Amino acid sequence: MYPFDYHRCASAEEAKALLAELGDGRLLAGGQSLLPMMKLRFVMTGNVIDLRDCEELRGIDIGSGAVTIGAMTRHVDVASSKELATALPVLAELAGGIGDPLVRAQGTMGGSIANNDPAADYPAACLGLGATILTTAGEIAADDFFLGVFETALAEGELVTGVRYPVPAAAAYMKFRHPASRFALAGVFVARAMDGLRIAVTGAGSQGVFRWHEAEAALTADFAPEALDGAELDTSDLNSDIHADADYRGHLVRVMAARAVRKILAANR
Amino acid sequence: MREFGIGQSLPRTEDLRLVRGTGRYTDDIAPAGSARMYVLRSQHAFARIGGIAIDAALEVPGVLAILTGADATADGLGGFTSMVRRTGPDGQPNFEPPFAVIARDVTRYVGEPVAVIVAETLNAAKDAAELIEVDYEAQPCVADLALADAPGAPLVWEQCPGNLCVLTEVGDKSATDDAFARAAHVAQVDFRISRVAVSTMEPRTAVAEWSEADQRFTLHASIQNPHMSREQLAGVLGLPSHRIRAVALDVGGGFGLKGVPHPELALVMWAARRVGRPVRWTSERSEGFLADCHARDQIVHAELALDEEARFLGLRVRVKANFGAYLSLAGVHCALGNIGGLSGVYVLPAIHGEIRGLFTHTVPIGPYRGAGRPEASMMIERVIDVAARDLGMDPAELRRRNLIPADRMPYDTGFVFTYDSGDFPASQAKVQEISDWNGFERRRAGAWARGRLRGIGMAHVIEIAAGQLDEMGAIEVDTSGAIAVTTGMQNHGQGHETMYRQLIAEFMHVPPDKVSVRDCDTDQIPYGFGTGGSRSAVVAGFLLETLASKVIAKGKQVAAIMLEVEPDQIDYREGAVFAARDSNRSATLAEVARFAHQPMHLPPGFEGGLSHRQMTRLAGPTFPNGCHVCEVEIDPETGHLDFVGYWVSEDVGKAINPMIVKGQVHGGVVQGLGQALGEYIHYDEEGQLATGSFMDYQMPRALDMPAIGIVSSDTPSRNNPLGIKGCGEGGTVGALPAAMNAIADALGPLGITNFDMPATPQRLWRAIRDAGGMPHAMAAE
Ligand SMILES: Cc1cc2nc3c(=O)[nH]c(=O)nc-3n(C[C@H](O)[C@H](O)[C@H](O)COP(=O)(O)OP(=O)(O)OC[C@H]3O[C@@H](n4cnc5c(N)ncnc54)[C@H](O)[C@@H]3O)c2cc1C
């Protein structure tokens, strides 16, 4: 780790002000992505601003038709929330499948989406549910938020404060884990919402999370796993590495999508 | 059974310390004034070093010294030598480039030490490392064993054309050729044994101090064999070995890796003497992936000749083994030292093998749990399954038909080993029963109905344990009757401390809390072979029994003086009491010990004290064995594999602590299954490590592992009076072939005849897809 100064603040506004003042500050949420990068000296920053005291950024609010979750809410809190288990079970399940108990006890939703790891789970939920990202500067639709690998629409000095998830009629998330890292090799979020059907794919795309529009069209026409067979998927946009080449990733996307559809159908039966 | 003695599952006495964070690991030692060492490593697999610019780095505050290959040459630093020598292609002793501790003008693997930075803090050392400029002239390299002897492959050493270091034959070629000529059937298989990282929980670590007053080093390090390490380090540093004290405290896993001296041990000592301060170094995980000796990495062709009755006539293997860029202490040994395992548990009249050891631009190969045993076992056990498939036979029946009968023990295999004992048919029958082997086809059909492939695999294990027969130990009884045990073996997690306490309870009737176990320290005991090769329990059983009997004999002499009878009138009884026969006079061990330390009460010339130290030598090695069964299910849609069942019948002769034996079997099996499932080291074409962290290196998790059913099938060894055999490695030795046989069995119905490890989802999915997928007809069956 390179040396740095450590700061703490009690609110998002305070953190924003400190960021502006320091110039090269880095926000610290659960530290599950940032700290490993710092330890490996991949990230160098003169100042770390710890958000742990920002109570206002923590919490799960079940509204009518939507659930709002604070940025500093930990994965374990989302996974174990009784209210969510009824209101939006797919999200609780997704959070419960992130990393391991140590990671879930520290990692936060805001950190995950601000980080936008191309294999992270929350971005798939945000995009799949058509969520709205709440920030210190306003609101950003998930469709406009995730720009690429580790890239988001957040402006310099802007903080994620929370996410508002519309509650869908039905949804399911299926992921096939990377055999080594256990992140998603291919994770597919399928949601049937008021304003239509959405499918978000994480882990597979070379540009990070994306919507699989062809499959959305196919399933809108016929909500059945077989309908996916005809949906095109451009594998040239998919990642290739020693664990999974684009062919295999593309195949897994199809399989996970079909399994998510089956899960929704089974739940409705 | 004696209280706390042999045969009981005593809870491990060291665990409280280890699991509560009160263990004493080398990294916990920070001598006053100690500095930190950081190693700058080669970024190229093969490069000429034009120069190393260190001036800017020396300016970093806190930097004490920066040492490079030029300094090493000036100080006459050597390298580690190979323990084993064989023949090269010219029939002469093989070329032997010592395992260099720092690169001079050429680097030969990514991760090879290029410069050493010593600084007040690790951060300062890393800052300085970033400012060092190494002028590399990269050369084309070869990292893949399969390409090492290809025409035109870059040479790691000019002295070795074709990168061929060792070319040797084992067994009887003409007898084997005859056997194949007579065969009714010949089965053959080609496979690769993947390269793996050892991944000990505690990384390698060392602290060195140089005493100017004593002209002597003290090295605390995470090592398995302080005495052998000391000899090797003395050679590298050009000192007599008594100028080094080597100590291993708690060690968090070794598996053979820490039995091989690595460069950093020498570097940390060299640095300590150079800067006149104690110097500490601890590997980071990603550093370990680059610089810890890797293991396995062989390419095998195996053929089995059978007669009309499916009896084995002969086995032929051709093996290519990767050595890496240098020969580590045990690199050649891993390819050849345990090749005796080829004969398996079978009547196998003729065996011939040709082994080629090749250099590549990779970190040297070292031992890892089994060290050549899992490889040898894969060769015989895989080809048996291929033969069974060819002949349409149940692989269990084919094995049963060829097993060495129990009444032929001891059995000279005619190859390398003479087995001391074992009842292989009984062992196989037991594991077939607990695994419901005969009911498998029903389970397979059930899996097919669920759209899953299912396979079962069997493998017998036999391995040499305690091939190193000699060891030194001491039992010292103090004036309170408490006992200290010292040996030249080293506990790195296996439970030696508990075992020694049980042995003392058995032989001396002293409860565990009155027994202390000394660290493995070259100043405590002049000789030791260390721990490795599944030897400690076998060797310690005999050693401590011998020592205890000597101490008791001495105690009888002292008790005789105390109780005023003849020594032969004294019995040593339960409760650690010396009693005069046919009388009510007695003295406890504590009383006798106290008396023994009061020379004024002893006759003139009588040697006071109650301690004994000596070396012992076993009559011969032991051959723990067992039969493993593995069952797998594969999701053909994703290639995901589940180990759904695992069973072992094991013969460890006699278990000192059955719980510890089970733990050893569990750990061993998991390390074998981990390799079968997905642990593998991959270098790309540039010799860069593609699996250099746990993000890419597939370490198995607990959830990946099946429940493991174990049944004991012990037959006592004839080579030591306690009957004990080893148990450290058998789990891995059996798991690798059992798993690969199970996977091949699952894939067989698709027409896939062979499948190489690792069974990663991508590789399985591709194999299944290329074979046309799982037919719907199968699922309907
Ligand atoms: C072993 C391991 C396994 C994992 N497995 C998974 C997995 O399976 N799936 C998965 O999705 N993730 C996984 N993760 C990542 C984990 O979920 C992280 O917690 C998450 O990606 C980042 O959240 P954090 O709270 O730890 O953020 P930090 O690491 O503290 O921060 C991450 C980044 O976000 C920025 N940031 C944090 N909070 C805010 C905010 N409110 N506004 C703006 N920027 C902010 C930080 O400055 C930093 O750049 C794993 C991590 C580890 C260590």
For residue B223, is pLDDT > 70? yes
Q: Closest to A176 (Cβ–Cβ): which among B638, B694, B695?
A: B638
For residue B460, is pLDDT > 60? yes
Tokens of A191: 């949601």
**In whole angstroms, what is the distance from residue B227 CA to residue B521 CA?**
8
Q: How confident is the model at residue B317 (pLDDT cuts 50, 70, 90)?
A: very high
Average pLDDT over residues B222-247: 97
- Using the Cα atoms of residue B482, residue B488, residue B489 and residue B491 in order, give the sign of their dihedral: positive
ipTM for this model: 0.96
Cα of A152 from ligand 1 centre, angstroms: 14
Residue nearest to atom 51 of ligand 1 (CA): A32
Tokens of B394: 């149940």
* B305 DSSP β-pair partners: B186, B314
pLDDT computed for residue B467 by the predictor: 86
Q: Is the CB of A208 under 6 A from ligand 1?
A: no
DSSP B474-493: EEEE-TTS-EEEEES---SS
* B214 Cα distance to chain centroid: 35
CA atoms within 13 A on the CB side of A209: 35
Average pLDDT over residues B542-560: 97
Q: Does B765 touch chain A (CB under 8 A)?
A: yes
Residue nearest to atom 44 of ligand 1 (CA): A114
Q: Is the CB of A49 under 6 A from ligand 1?
A: no
Cβ within 8 Å, pair B701-A182: yes
Residues of chain A with CATH 3.30.465.10: 5-166
For residue B355, is pLDDT > 90? yes
Please, which contacts does A248-253 make with residues 24 or more away whose CB atoms are closer than 8 Å?
Answer: A248/B639, A248/B762, A248/B765, A248/B766, A249/A185, A249/A186, A249/A203, A249/A204, A250/A204, A251/B765, A252/A176, A252/A185, A252/A186, A252/A204, A252/B638, A253/A186, A253/A188, A253/A201, A253/A204, A253/A212
Residue B507 backbone dihedrals phi, psi, to 5 degrees: -90, -25
Q: Does A86 touch chain B (CB under 8 A)?
A: no
Q: Closest to A181 (Cβ–Cβ): which among B639, B690, B695?
A: B695
Tokens of B283: 């590997």
Q: Does A65 touch chain B (CB under 8 A)?
A: no
For residue B471, is pLDDT > 80? yes
Contact assessment for residue A123 and residue A153, using Cβ atoms and an 8 Å cutoff: no
Cα of A31 from ligand 1 centre, angstroms: 6
Chain B positions touching A179 (Cβ under 8 A) are: 678, 698, 760-761
* CA-A108 nearest atom, ligand 1: 25
Count other C-beta atoms under 10 Å from residue B48's C-beta: 13
Beta-strand pair B611-617/B586-588: unpaired
Average pLDDT over residues B642-658: 97
> Which pLDDT tens digit goes with each residue over B386-433?
999 999 999 999 999 999 999 999 999 999 999 999 999 999 999 999
Selected from 2.120.10.30, 3.10.20.30, 3.50.50.60, 3.30.465.10, the CATH number assigned to the domain covering A5-166 reads 3.30.465.10
Cβ within 8 Å, pair B762-A244: yes
- A263: closest CA of chain B, how far (Å): 16
* B38 DSSP β-pair partners: B117
Q: Does B281 touch chain A (CB under 8 A)?
A: no
Ligand 1 pocket test: pick from A48, A51, A93, A108 the residue with the most ligand atoms within 8 Å of its Cβ: A108
For residue B1, is pLDDT > 80? no
pLDDT > 90: what percent of chain A?
97
Contact assessment for residue B748 and residue B742, using Cβ atoms and an 8 Å cutoff: no
> Which pLDDT tens digit goes with each residue over B98-112?
899 999 999 999 999
- Which pTM does this prediction carry? 0.96
pLDDT computed for residue B658 by the predictor: 96
pLDDT computed for residue B779 by the predictor: 58
> Which pLDDT tens digit goes with each residue over B49-67?
999 999 999 999 999 999 9
Stated as kind and residue range, the H or E segment containing B218 is: strand B216-221
* B663 DSSP β-pair partners: none
Considering the domain B31-139+209-278 in this protein, what is its CATH number? Answer: 3.90.1170.50
Stated as kind and residue range, the H or E segment containing B593 is: helix B589-596
For residue B781, is pLDDT > 70? no
Average pLDDT over residues B250-273: 97
> Which pLDDT tens digit goes with each residue over B679-737?
999 999 999 999 999 999 999 999 999 999 999 999 999 988 899 999 999 999 999 99
> Which pLDDT tens digit goes with each residue over B572-623?
999 999 999 989 999 999 999 999 999 999 999 999 999 999 999 999 999 9
Tokens of B101: 């501790």
| DSSP structure class, residue A192 | E
Contact assessment for residue B94 and residue B166, using Cβ atoms and an 8 Å cutoff: yes
**In whole angstroms, what is the distance from residue A224 CA to residue A231 CA?**
12
Architecture of domain B15-20+467-617: 2-Layer Sandwich (3.30)
pLDDT computed for residue B780 by the predictor: 52
> How distant, in Å, are the alpha carbons of A15, A27, A122, A161, B608 from that of A51?
8, 7, 19, 11, 69
- A97: closest CA of chain B, how far (Å): 14
**In whole angstroms, what is the distance from residue B369 CA to residue A268 CA?**
51
DSSP B401-420: HHBPPGGG-SEE-SSS-EE-
pLDDT computed for residue A231 by the predictor: 96
For residue A194, is pLDDT > 80? no
**In whole angstroms, what is the distance from residue B208 CA to residue B279 CA?**
5
User: Mapping DSSP to helix (H, G, I), strand (E, B) and coil, where does residue B262 land?
Assistant: coil
> Which pLDDT tens digit goes with each residue over A145-172?
999 999 999 999 999 999 999 999 999 9
**Which distant-in-sequence residues (6+ apart) come within 8 Å of B472 by Cβ?**
B487, B488, B525, B526, B527, B528, B543, B613, B614, B615
**Omega within 30 of 0 (cis) for the link into B410:** yes
For chain B, how far is it from start to end, CA to CA, in angstroms? Answer: 54
Tokens of A79: 């996974």
Beta-strand pair A47-50/A25-28: parallel
Asked, colleague to colleague, whether B15-20+467-617 and B31-139+209-278 share their fold, the answer is no
Chain B positions touching A40 (Cβ under 8 A) are: 286
Q: How confident is the model at residue A268 (pLDDT cuts 50, 70, 90)?
A: confident
Cα of B692 from ligand 1 centre, angstroms: 21
Q: Does B87 touch chain A (CB under 8 A)?
A: no
Residue B655 backbone dihedrals phi, psi, to 5 degrees: -85, 125
**Which distant-in-sequence residues (6+ apart) come within 8 Å of B53 by Cβ?**
B132, B133, B134, B135
Residues in chain A, overall count? 269
Residues of chain A with CATH 3.30.390.50: 170-267
Integer-rounded Cα Rg, in Å, for chain B is 28
Burial class (CB in 10 A: 0-12, 13-18, 19+), B751: exposed
Cβ within 8 Å, pair A248-B765: yes
Q: Which CATH class is domain B403-463+621-681+688-780?
A: alpha beta
Considering the domain A170-267 in this protein, what is its CATH number? Answer: 3.30.390.50
**In whole angstroms, what is the distance from residue B581 CA to residue B565 CA?**
9
Torsion angle in degrees (nearest 10) through CA of A41, A47, A53, A59: -60
**In whole angstroms, what is the distance from residue B205 CA to residue A138 CA?**
51
> In chain B, which among 600-639 make CB contacts under 8 A with chain A?
637-639
Residue nearest to atom 39 of ligand 1 (CA): A111
Contact assessment for residue A79 and residue A62, using Cβ atoms and an 8 Å cutoff: no
> Which pLDDT tens digit goes with each residue over B497-514?
999 999 999 999 999 999
* A53 Cα distance to chain centroid: 23
Burial class (CB in 10 A: 0-12, 13-18, 19+), B515: buried
**Owner of token pair 């007579």:** B182
| DSSP structure class, residue A203 | S
Instruction: Round the average pLDDT of chain A to a whole number and report it.
Output: 97
DSSP A100-121: -HHHHTT-BHHHHHHHT-TT-S
Sheet holding B133-138, edge to edge: B106-107, B47-53, B133-138
**In whole angstroms, what is the distance from residue B4 CA to residue B514 CA?**
12
Tokens of B732: 């891995």
Q: Is the CB of A31 under 6 A from ligand 1?
A: yes
**In whole angstroms, what is the distance from residue B248 CA to residue B492 CA?**
9
Chain B positions touching A240 (Cβ under 8 A) are: none
Stated as kind and residue range, the H or E segment containing B302 is: strand B295-306
Q: Does A244 touch chain B (CB under 8 A)?
A: yes
pLDDT computed for residue B634 by the predictor: 98
Burial class (CB in 10 A: 0-12, 13-18, 19+), B581: exposed
**In whole angstroms, what is the distance from residue B97 CA to residue B115 CA?**
20
Cβ within 8 Å, pair A242-B682: yes
User: Mapping DSSP to helix (H, G, I), strand (E, B) and coil, where does residue B636 land?
Assistant: coil
Please, which contacts does B440-449 make with residues 24 or more away whose CB atoms are closer than 8 Å?
Answer: B440/B631, B443/B631, B445/B781, B447/B633, B448/B778, B448/B779, B448/B781, B449/B779, B449/B781
**In whole angstroms, what is the distance from residue B297 CA to residue B295 CA?**
6
Ligand 1 pocket test: pick from A112, A163, A174 the residue with the most ligand atoms within 8 Å of its Cβ: A112
Chain A positions touching B123 (Cβ under 8 A) are: 1-3
Chain A positions touching B126 (Cβ under 8 A) are: 41
For residue B777, is pLDDT > 80? no
pLDDT > 90: what percent of chain B?
95
> How distant, in Å, are the alpha carbons of A97, B639, B671, B686 from that of B742?
30, 15, 16, 35
A198-216 burial code (b ≥16 CB/10 A, e <16): bbbbbbbbeebbbbbeebb
Average pLDDT over residues B523-535: 91
For residue A70, is pLDDT > 80? yes
For residue A57, is pLDDT > 60? yes
Count other C-beta atoms under 10 Å from residue B370's C-beta: 33
For residue B263, is pLDDT > 90? yes
Cβ within 8 Å, pair B694-A181: yes
pLDDT computed for residue B461 by the predictor: 96
Q: Is the CB of A157 under 6 A from ligand 1?
A: no
Stated as kind and residue range, the H or E segment containing B229 is: helix B226-237
Cβ within 8 Å, pair A180-B765: no
Q: Does B703 touch chain A (CB under 8 A)?
A: no
Q: Is the CB of A251 under 6 A from ligand 1?
A: no
CA-closest candidate to residue B97, choices B323, B258, B290: B323
For residue B644, is pLDDT > 90? yes
For residue B319, is pLDDT > 90? yes
Ligand 1 pocket test: pick from A39, A52, A103 the residue with the most ligand atoms within 8 Å of its Cβ: A103
Average pLDDT over residues B288-299: 98
Contact assessment for residue B455 and residue B747, using Cβ atoms and an 8 Å cutoff: yes
- A144: closest CA of chain B, how far (Å): 29
- Using the Cα atoms of residue B700, residue B701, residue B706 and residue B707 in order, give the sign of their dihedral: positive
Beta-strand pair B625-635/B640-651: antiparallel
pLDDT > 70: what percent of chain B?
99
Q: How confident is the model at residue B3 (pLDDT cuts 50, 70, 90)?
A: confident
